């Protein structure tokens, strides 16, 4: 009976106007890893249409809800890197050139599987840092957790409002 997947992630911003503790709703993604969880699946079911991978109606709902509650919700393209290491400054420059607004180490394979199963997907990135080379921040998992903790109340509240309005 499940018809919708709502995902969250921590991400690095590639935009100076989208600082740490911002929220971004995904409009699309770049599978920079070029891996798919569907490799090995037999038959035509593995050829999933990824147009509107992030369901437009759910994106509009999230943006409208944020506006209603006076929260800022950026929209952008998420670039997937495999990790677990942070990206290099050269990789960040490449991702920016390719059109990414934020980067992270998750979400894309889950979206591919969800679309394979016919689910509508909404994904939100919680921005924990700027991409490597864009600031003097020392990127670390501890820093990511610190930023997430500092902004978790506002992000959780907006997420709760969005989920409450899902069809």
Q: Which residues are catalytic?
A: 87
162 close to 65: Cβ distance less than 8 angstroms: yes
55 close to 120: Cβ distance less than 8 angstroms: yes
- Which H, E and C letters describe 109-165, residue by residue? HHHHHHHHCCCEEEEEEEEEEECCCCCCCCCCHHHHHHHHHHHHHHHHHHHHHHHHC
Give the C-alpha separation, 107 to 159, whole Å: 16
Give the C-alpha separation, 92 to 101, whole Å: 10
DSSP codes, 60-81: HHHHHHHHHTT---EEEEEEE-
């Amino acid at each position: 009976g499940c018809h919708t997947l709502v995902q969250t992630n921590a991400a690095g911003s590639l935009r100076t106007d989208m600082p740490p503790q911002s929220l971004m709703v995904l409009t699309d993604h770049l599978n920079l890893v070029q891996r798919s969880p569907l490799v090995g699946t037999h038959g035509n079911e593995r050829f999933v249409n990824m147009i509107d991978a992030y369901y437009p109606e759910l994106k509009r709902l999230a943006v409208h809800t944020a506006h209603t509650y006076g929260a800022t919700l950026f929209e952008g393209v998420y670039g997937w890197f495999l990790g677990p290491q942070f990206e290099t400054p050269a990789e960040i420059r490449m991702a920016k050139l390719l059109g990414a607004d934020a980067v992270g180490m998750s979400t894309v394979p889950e979206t591919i599987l969800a679309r394979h199963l016919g689910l509508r997907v909404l994904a939100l990135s919680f921005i924990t840092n700027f991409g490597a080379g864009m600031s003097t921040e020392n990127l670390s998992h501890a820093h990511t957790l610190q930023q997430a903790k500092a902004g978790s109340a506002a992000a959780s509240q907006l997420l709760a409002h969005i989920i409450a309005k899902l069809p």
